[in-house]
Structures are given as structure tokens and as C-alpha cells.
């Protein structure tokens, strides 16, 4: 079984670093968020690199970045949007289709 020629992976998610970000955030329940610093540590990324990839995901409306304060300290939280969650589901479904076709 060969996958259709028009099967294409979402280029926003397909970049390795962004795929890792979205996959990590997808483990959270819908509506839950993760602190930027926690995400940074989990993914072993620099703050600048993570910020760049989050900006791209935010531009695609896949994540929401919320900046706030906890006491006097700034805090940044990242949440996968419903559109981002659906895009990740479609991405994984498409990848599965491609892999099944490659095994044929």
C-alpha cells in the first residue's frame, strides 16, 4: 500500500525542536500549561532557542504563551491550543500513514 502523493507532514511541527515541544505539551491534559523553565529543562534547550521555536508555534496558533508574575518574579507558561493539539493528532496520523506505506 503506497500512501497518496498528497500526504504531507505539517512543516511547522515537522522541525525536530518544534516536534519535541508539541509532543511534550501534548502529554498535558487539555487546558493545562507548563512553565517555560520546566519545558526548557525537559527538552535541554537554551532559552533563546526555545523562545524562537515557541514563537513559530505561536504564529501558527498551536501554542499560547502567557507571561505573568508570581510575586515579583516574572513567569512564563506555555499551553498547547486546541488547534495545536489537533495539528499534532493529524501529524501523527499522517506519519503513521506514511510509515505503513513505506513498509509495503
Q: In this structure, what C-alpha cell is assigned to residue 97?
A: 500513514
User: How many Å apart are CA 64 and CA 3, to the nearest integer?
Assistant: 33
Model pLDDT, residue 103: 60
Per DSSP, 77 falls in state E
CA distances from 93 to 9, 16, 28, 80 (A): 10, 17, 19, 18
- Sequence spans of domains, the chain: 32-95
Residues 62-87 have pLDDT tens digits of 999 999 999 999 999 999 999 999 99
For the domain made up of 32-95, the CATH class stated in words is: mainly alpha
Tell me what the pLDDT averaged over the chain comes to. Answer: 92
Model pLDDT, residue 31: 93
User: How many Å apart are CA 78 and CA 4, to the nearest integer?
Assistant: 35
Amino acid at each position: 500500500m503506497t500512501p497518496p502523493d498528497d500526504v504531507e507532514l505539517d512543516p511547522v511541527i515537522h522541525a525536530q525542536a518544534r516536534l519535541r515541544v508539541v509532543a511534550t505539551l501534548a502529554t498535558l491534559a487539555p487546558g493545562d500549561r507548563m512553565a517555560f523553565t520546566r519545558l526548557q529543562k525537559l527538552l535541554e534547550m537554551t532559552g533563546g532557542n526555545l523562545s524562537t521555536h515557541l514563537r513559530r508555534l505561536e504564529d501558527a496558533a498551536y501554542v499560547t504563551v502567557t507571561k505573568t508574575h508570581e510575586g515579583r518574579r516574572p513567569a512564563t507558561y506555555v499551553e498547547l491550543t486546541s488547534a495545536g493539539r489537533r495539528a499534532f493528532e493529524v501529524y501523527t496520523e499522517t506519519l503513521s500513514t506514511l510509515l505503513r506505506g513505506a513498509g509495503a
